[in-house]
Amino acid sequence: MKKKIGLLTSGSDLPGLNAAIRAIGKSARAKDIEIIGFQDGFYGLVHDQYTSIEKSQLSGILTTGGTILGTSRDTPQQMSGNNKISDKTEEAIKTYRKHNLSALVCLGGKETQESAYNLSKNGLNIITLPKAIDNHLPMTDTSVGFDTAMEVAAEAIDRLHSTAHSHHRIIIVEIMGNNSGWLTLGAGIAGGADVILIPEIPYEVDKVAEAIAQRNKDNKRFSIIAVAEGASPKDYHEFHERLRQNNERLRDGDDRRKVSHQLDELENRNLMDNAALLDNRLSALTGLDTRITILGYLLRGGVPSALDRLLATQLGTACVSMICKDQFGVMASVQQNSIVPVPLEQVAGKIKQVPADHPWLLSARSVGTCMGD
């Protein structure tokens, strides 16, 4: 029986998704495998909105950003509609069965991996590809989109050096990364940031101010601070840790989950103000003019780098090979320059953070970069 696979891109868009779609499509066609693409991520799977991926659609998309299939943050477990959130896992399964799919390929980040694992546990043949500009997915050395985003962030830091130097300012560059600091650390080192603040290392504002004051004494009258959006002051971090520990003492499980959710919302709201808080406190402590630049969605757009195109092509072709070998319930992972299948249970619900002894971090410290601790 001829194989038929479904493909979707879920979560945030980023450079390299179209390169992966192209690789999967061309490789599948070469093996006489039919392929359809679900539109707007899991929303299209649930609502059976799809398109047949023809040869003509795969032409000219290697270098384009975004995704020709569209995407959304909806997941089968939490699908929005009619002003409410519903579990539509059964509808997703029905669509899969209706099309007699041999496998479903999901390109996405943390939430996508969790949703894919859920579908896999429900008996579907699932393979995922890792994509994340902040490189926070576990069990893979890198993810599609990370290299491009790091290049864009490093170039932004390069460009900000001239205005910081000319006006003798502190410039705070906020870079995406709620839970992990790979993107900020890599871009900060490459761009020569004087201070790098990441979620893995709660920082002390006084230490940052001291580092800037020392630069002024050395007649370096400007400073560039690369800060991940999830980086937080040490006192703020300790406060939230105490709240969470107190929450764990609640006897009722439902109450504990409710309070935990409220704490997550509070923390996320506060994280949005971290750059402004850092700006105000550094201005007061140093007396220097301070400015904030938030890169935000600039990091997700544009042409993918050569490395991301290469990575997406490798992952896409390896994915089709895994389907031909009936390897399912896995993520196509990059490990020591090879593409290997990793069980989704080892990926779902987990975050890869920067370890304290990582060579990037050690190098940053060695060249005198302040990490805020």
User: Strands 170-175 and 195-197: what pairing?
Assistant: unpaired
- Cβ(116)–Cβ(106) below 8 Å: yes
Radius of gyration, CA atoms only, the chain: 22
- Cβ(137)–Cβ(109) below 8 Å: yes
Calpha distance 257→201 (Å, rounded): 26
279 is catalytic: no
Task: Report how far apart the first and last C-alpha atoms of the chain are (Å, whole number).
Answer: 60
User: Strands 290-294 and 330-335: what pairing?
Assistant: unpaired
Query: According to DSSP H, which parts of the chain are helical?
Result: 17-30, 42-47, 89-98, 110-121, 146-167, 182-191, 205-217, 234-248, 253-271, 274-286, 306-324, 359-366
DSSP state of 8: E
Query: According to DSSP H, which parts of 128-218 are helical?
Result: 146-167, 182-191, 205-217
- Cβ(33)–Cβ(320) below 8 Å: yes
Of 134, 147, 194, 308, which residue is the catalytic one? 134
Residue 134, classified by CB atoms within 10 Å of its CB into exposed (0-12), middle (13-18) or buried (19+), is buried
Query: Could you list the active site residues?
Result: 134
